[in-house]
């Protein structure tokens, strides 16, 4: 009897894959929020920032659900501890309305799982608490796959995820994803026809697409924001809470704007660890197929100007921390 050929499942530690929690995992999760939203069954999530100031603390990741309510995510490698639990309670205590709190760790200690269960049972219905354990799985020489396992959740969560919410997730939100993916597929086809060096991921459903710029912690991105009737091109600086990188760039503002040919938006983003230098084309609809050839041409033109201008500059930057993670992780901060 012939038996099937099977691989051996290997469980990896988070540090084996992401290495650093703050510099690598948090930005990665920000760029892959759909994994979290699918696991929690809360529909589409929109990122509002990473390392967001909250009093004397910082929220690792702040997002919004489809109803505009905050989703607060606290990450840590290793086992959960009392300090992070205290921070989570402090964060949620400052929320004036409904909120979802997500605690992600490699191992959730039993006493902390019990604490999350108690919070779900004891606080008002508008507050929902989750605890998730993080692993990465691989078989043989395959790429590691992230695995989030819910170990604590609201008692009535299965009932709370209503048919209407599921319909929104599979209907309206899926339509938005479809429209974004269609735009990026069209843009990638335009790039290939033009012989451009830029390439777009074919399954991209985000509002941004990112490209290499040559230094870890910085990324060149193209963005589409139909709600604001604009598209954009930007240089996005990730983990720079003291704004040291942004200030080095801003000192060369006149040189940069002269090279690109337009005044730019120098967005310091004071309440975030990130910052950006951007150019926007406004009064346009990226989902309107009739407009897309013009938008694609503008986007390629500006990407070329940004790369030609910023690539030599970013190589000269003095970075505050050279452990910012893998080079050119996609920007994940909504315009």
The CATH code of the domain that includes 205 is 3.30.1460
Q: Are 47 and 179 in contact (CB under 8 A)?
A: no
Query: Are 250 and 293 contained in the same domain?
Result: yes
Same domain? For 87 and 199 the reply is: no
Residue 142 sits in which domain range?
A: 9-165
Which domain-ending residue is among 121, 141, 165? 165
> What are 107's strand-pairing partners?
79
End position of a domain, from candidates 137, 165, 193: 165
Q: Is residue 52 part of a domain?
A: yes
In a domain, 225, yes or no: yes
Whether 28 is covered by a domain: the verdict is yes
Helix (H, G, I), strand (E, B) or coil at 206: coil
Q: Identify whether 86 is part of a domain.
A: yes
* Residues 76, 25: Cα–Cα separation, whole Å: 9
- Clarify whether residues 158 and 13 are in a common domain: yes
Do 14 and 143 reside in the same domain of the chain? yes
Whether 39 and 65 map to the same domain: the answer is: yes
Q: Which residues pair with 265 in a beta bridge?
A: 278
pLDDT, one tens digit per residue, over 229-287 is 999 999 998 777 788 999 999 999 999 999 999 999 999 877 566 789 999 999 999 99
Q: Is 170 exposed, middle or buried (0-12, 13-18, 19+ CB in 10 A)?
A: exposed
Q: Look up residue 329 and give its two tokens.
A: 């992780």
What span, in angstroms and rounded, lies between the C-alpha atoms of 155 and 104? 18
Question: Same domain, yes or no, for 135 and 196?
Answer: no
Tell me, yes or no, whether 20 lies in a domain.
yes
pLDDT digits (tens, 9 = 90+) for 61-113: 998 886 778 899 999 999 999 999 988 888 888 777 788 999 999 999 999 99
In 3-state terms, what secondary structure has residue 237?
strand
Q: φ, ψ for residue 58 (rounded to 5)?
A: -130, 135
Total length of the chain: 335
Domain end residue (candidates: 108, 134, 165): 165
The predicted pLDDT at position 157 comes to 63
pLDDT band at residue 49, thresholds of 50, 70 and 90?
Answer: confident
- 161 with 23, same domain: the answer is yes
Judgement on whether residues 74 and 144 belong to the same structural domain of the protein: yes
Residue 259 domain-assigned (yes or no):
yes
> What would the pLDDT profile of 6-23 be if each residue is shown by its tens digit?
778 888 888 888 988 888
Shared domain for 126 and 251, answered yes or no, is: no
142 and 202 part of one domain: no
pLDDT at 326 over 70: no
Question: Which one-letter DSSP state was computed for residue 164?
Answer: H
CATH number at residue 108: 3.40.1350.10
Neighbours of 235 (CB within 10 A): 26
1 contacts: CB under 8 Å, gap ≥ 6 = none
> Is 2 among the domain residues?
no
Q: Report the C-alpha gap between 141 and 259 in whole angstroms.
A: 45
Under 8 Å between Cβ of 307 and 187: no
- How many domains in the chain? 2
Residue indicated by tokens 């209907």:
171
Residue 244 tokens, joined: 């040291």
DSSP 3-state of 130: strand
CA angle 34, 40, 130 (to 5 degrees): 125
Question: Are both 145 and 256 inside the same structural domain?
Answer: no
Residues 299 and 193 in one domain: yes
Q: Is residue 334 included in any domain, yes or no?
A: no
């Amino acid at each position: 009897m012939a038996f099937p050929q099977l691989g051996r499942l290997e469980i990896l530690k988070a540090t084996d894959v992401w290495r650093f929690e703050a510099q690598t995992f948090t930005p990665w999760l920000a760029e892959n929020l759909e994994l979290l939203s699918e696991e929690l069954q809360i529909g589409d999530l929109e990122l509002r920032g990473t390392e967001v100031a909250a009093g004397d603390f910082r929220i690792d990741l702040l997002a919004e659900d489809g109803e505009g309510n905050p989703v607060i995510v606290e990450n840590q490698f290793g086992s959960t501890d009392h300090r992070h639990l205290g921070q989570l309670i402090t964060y949620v205590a400052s929320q004036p309305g409904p909120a979802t709190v997500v605690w992600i760790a490699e191992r959730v200690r039993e006493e902390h799982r019990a604490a999350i269960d108690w919070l779900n049972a004891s606080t008002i219905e508008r507050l929902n608490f989750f605890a998730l354990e993080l692993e990465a799985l691989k078989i043989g020489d395959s790429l590691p796959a992230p695995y989030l396992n819910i170990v604590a959740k609201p008692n009535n969560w299965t009932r709370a995820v209503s048919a209407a919410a599921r319909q929104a997730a599979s209907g309206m939100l899926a339509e938005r994803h479809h429209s974004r993916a269609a735009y990026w597929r069209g843009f990638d086809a335009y790039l290939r026809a033009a012989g451009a060096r830029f390439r777009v991921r074919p399954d991209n459903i985000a509002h941004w697409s990112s490209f290499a710029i040559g230094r870890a912690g910085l990324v060149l991105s193209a963005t589409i924001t139909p709600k604001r009737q604009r598209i954009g091109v930007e240089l996005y600086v990730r983990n720079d809470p003291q704004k040291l990188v942004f200030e080095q760039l801003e000192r060369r503002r006149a040189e940069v704007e002269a090279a690109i040919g337009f005044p730019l938006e120098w967005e310091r983003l004071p309440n975030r660890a990130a910052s950006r230098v951007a150019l926007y084309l406004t009064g346009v609809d990226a989902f309107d197929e009739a407009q897309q050839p013009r938008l694609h041409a503008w986007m390629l033109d500006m990407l070329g100007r940004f790369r030609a201008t910023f690539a030599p500059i970013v190589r000269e930057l003095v970075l505050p921390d050279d452990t910012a993670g893998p080079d050119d992780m996609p920007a994940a901060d909504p315009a």
